[in-house]
Amino acid sequence: MGYGSPIKMRGRTLGETPRRDPNGSNTKRHLTMDRYDIKQGNVDNLDLIKPLWEKLNQLHYDLSLHFKKRFQEMNWDKRKRKLLQKSKDILFDYVIDKNDNKIIGYCISTIDKEDDKVGEIDSIYIDESYRKSGLGKQLVERAILWLKSNNTETQKLLVGVGNEQVIDFYKQFDFFPLHIVLQRIEKK
């Protein structure tokens, strides 16, 4: 499977879910709401989400107690390069608000190049004014389906210190804390 390949599971494309209509028959619906579209991108159009990633990086900078310099020195080109270097495959989903044709969220998931049994939700962000709309949940569900369809045995994600309030959100998908990583800061 290459970057941005359509995801098929049990005869349907990822994003379609069976649903019973009021008359009791099964129907299919695409994973959209009236106002939003979730689209699957590819590595050639990752730059579409650069402004949102920059907001996420700023959020991590603001929340960081000890590593502000790390977020200050990180930029989109470095982050994108790291994602591409570490990944055997990438799923890139983004959300468009159809009312103003604006990208309002994204999720990037990867399969590790060194160990294809390990998948990660690497970066996810929903613009602040669109949170609590169910969009983040849909993006995470799509990411998990994709990771499972690629036979990963371990699915993980990292939460930055200072952003612990999102841990309860991830618990609903059975993600739980495993390690606390401490990193030494060299005093100058």
Q: What average pLDDT does range 174-186 have in this prediction?
A: 93
pLDDT tens-digit readout, 102-113: 999 999 999 999
pLDDT value of position 161: 93
In angstroms, the CA 56 to CA 176 distance is 22
Q: What is the helix (H) or strand (E) element at residue 18, kind and residue range?
A: strand 16-20
pLDDT value of position 33: 66
The least confident of 14-18, 93-97, 140-144 is: 14-18
Cβ neighbours around 132 below 10 Å, total = 7
Ordered DSSP codes for 137-176? HHHHHHHHHHHHHTT-SEEEE---TT-GGGHHHHHTTT--
Q: Are strands 118-126 and 154-157 parallel, antiparallel or unpaired?
A: parallel
Mean pLDDT of the chain: 86
In angstroms, the CA 86 to CA 95 distance is 24
Domain boundaries, the chain: 8-166
pTM: 0.81
Domain 8-166 falls under CATH 3.30.470.30: no
